[in-house]
Chain A
Amino acid sequence: MKVAISATGNDLNAFVDPRFGRCPFFILIDPENMEYEVIRNEASQSMGGAGIKAAQTVIKSGAGAVITGNMGPNAFAVLKAEGVKIYAGVSGKIKDVIQQFKEGKLKESESASVERHFGMRK
């Protein structure tokens, strides 16, 4: 299963972006072999509904799980509808976070971690 991570930069030394909808990149990684591709998050400049659009980008990428800093209720609802697992409240270097994911140390989120528009205040 591939995992999409909201990222501050475009490689594994980047950090988990605290914003889901308005992060600049998603890193789509296969934790088994650590092969990854970088997806530019077109939603980051949206006037509104960035989380909703970013969630669809993630779904189209084929990811089965998302790791991010924070996620609002709209993006959460879209990803849940597709059955994508959500790990919010995560921070740190992506390399390290993937390790934690493989070791089962990340906890799946049961609800949105922030109100909508959280990423617009950053």
Chain B
Amino acid sequence: MILSIASGKGGTGKTTVAVNLAISLEDVQLLDCDVEEPNANIFVKADLKRIETIYREVPDFDLEKCNLCGACADFCAYNAIAVTSKKLIFFPELCHSCGGCGLVCRENAIRWRRKEIGEIYRGCKDGIEIYQGKLKVGESIPIPVIRRMKELIDRSKNVIIDSPPGAGCPFIESVKGSDFCLLVTEPTPFGLYDLKIAVEVVRKLKVPFGVVVNKDGGGYKEVDLFCRSEGIPILLRIPHSEEIARLYSLGVPFSSQKRRWKEEFERLFESIEDLR
């Protein structure tokens, strides 16, 4: 089964849930797709080795052939190309590698070159095979790294995908194709606001999903009310606890210290299998 762990809001506990699930199950492949700030291995502590470099293609303009017609600049939805009457200026950091400029160029003035944008690391520890994607500093398009990470999925294993926060393209790329998605939220107005957005997106992706409420117990009831009214199952509640926070700050998954929680995560996984 491919299980993605996502949230709208950042800092709700995606990695906490992903890692605690991973150590509670057998034969796990853990993909840290939060490639802008991968931190799952802080808890897994595997010895990571780089296994791949990730590139994307960006246009290379042949200025001898270019007649400055501006068709590519007009086409580019990301405003990565500017054409003045005297020259063409390309802003590679804005380019999304869609290839459209090459299609509209009538002068055949566009070739392609590879630009290094990230790396993938792999390690193994205590039955967990962990993959970590890492976007290069200064790069803003994580999709090709996430896409390649997902090609490394071994369907015979219990695959856990730690997704990036938000509800945009990186989230969609990570979650799509999953058998189930756990949306981790916290009982705050921010948590609820972003949960609603994430729910909308996951529904569009047609991935079955449920909710984990982390840092529970503060008295804010609206997340529960929302889930009840939408018919969304709340599959686990993790209390707002100083002990859990302290273990987190030490890089220790709390279920490794508490038998009861390991069982809770096993039960969470079983309830997901029942829901699919």
What string of 1s and 0s marks CB contacts (under 8 Å) between B64-98 and chain A?
A: 00000010010001111011111101010010000
Known: A77-B89, A78-B89, A81-B89. A48 touches B78 (CB 8 A): yes
Kindly provide the distance from the CB of A24 to the nearest chain B CB, expressed in whole angstroms: 17
The answer to whether A49 touches B84 (Cβ under 8 A) is no
> Chain B's nearest CB lies how many Å from the CB of A50?
7
CB distance from A23 to the nearest CB of B (A): 15
Which residue from chain B places its CB closest to the CB of A77 in the assembled complex?
B89
B residues less than 8 Å from A77 (CB atoms): 82, 89
Known contacts A52-B91, A74-B91; is A46 also within 8 Å of B79 by CB? yes
- Interchain CA distance A81-B91 in the complex, whole Å: 14
| Residues from 41 to 85 in A contacting B, C-beta threshold 8 Å | 43, 46-50, 52-53, 55-56, 59, 74, 77-78, 81-83
Most buried by B among A50, A52, A83: A52
Of the listed residues B73, B86, B87, B89, the one surrounded by the most CB atoms of chain A closer than 10 A to its CB is: B89
Q: Decide: A56 near B87, CB < 8 A? Known: A46-B79, A48-B79, A50-B79.
A: no
Per-residue interface assignment for chain A, residues 17 to 48, with 1 indicating a CB less than 8 Å from any chain B CB and 0 otherwise? 00000000000000000000000000100111
Chain B residues, CB < 8 A from A81: 82, 84, 86-87, 89
- Specify which of B78, B83, B85, B86 is in contact with A49 (CB 8 Å cutoff): B78
**Contact of A59 with B78 in the complex, beta carbons under 8 Å:** no
A56 x B85 contact (CB < 8 A): no
> B78 to chain A: which residues have CB within 8 Å?
47-49
Which residues on the B side are within 8 Å of A48 (C-beta)? 78-79, 94
CB distance from B191 to the nearest CB of A (A): 25
- Smallest CB separation, B74 vs chain A (Å): 9
Contact A82 B91 (CB under 8 A): no
Query: Are A78 and B84 in contact, with the CB atoms below 8 A?
Result: yes
CA A56 to CA B82, docked complex, whole Å: 7
Contact of B79 among A53, A59, A82 (CB under 8 A): A53
Chain B contacts for A78, CB-based, 8 A: 82, 84, 89
Cα A81 to Cα B87 in complex, Å, equals 7
B residues less than 8 Å from A59 (CB atoms): 84-85
Instruction: A77 to B80: give the CA distance in the assembly, Å.
Output: 13
- Highest count of chain B CB atoms <10 Å: which of A59, A77, A81: A81
B35, chain A: closest CB distance, angstroms: 19
Measured between beta carbons, the chain A residues less than 8 angstroms from B85 are 59, 82
**Cα(A59)–Cα(B89), bound, Å:** 14
Whether A49 and B87, one on each chain, are in contact in the complex, defined by CB atoms closer than 8 angstroms, is no
How distant is B91 from chain A, measured CB to nearest CB, in Å? 6
In the bound complex, do residue B79 and residue A49 qualify as a contact, i.e. CB atoms below 8 Å apart? yes
Contact A56 B83 (CB under 8 A): yes
Please give me the residue from chain A that is nearest to B77 by CB atom: A47
Complex interface residues of chain B between 81 and 132 (CB less than 8 A to chain A): 82-87, 89, 91, 94
Residues of B within 8 A of A (CB): 70, 73, 77-80, 82-87, 89, 91, 94
- 11 A-B pairs (CB sep. < 8 Å): A47-B78, A49-B94, A52-B79, A56-B70, A74-B91, A77-B82, A77-B89, A78-B84, A81-B87, A81-B89, A82-B85
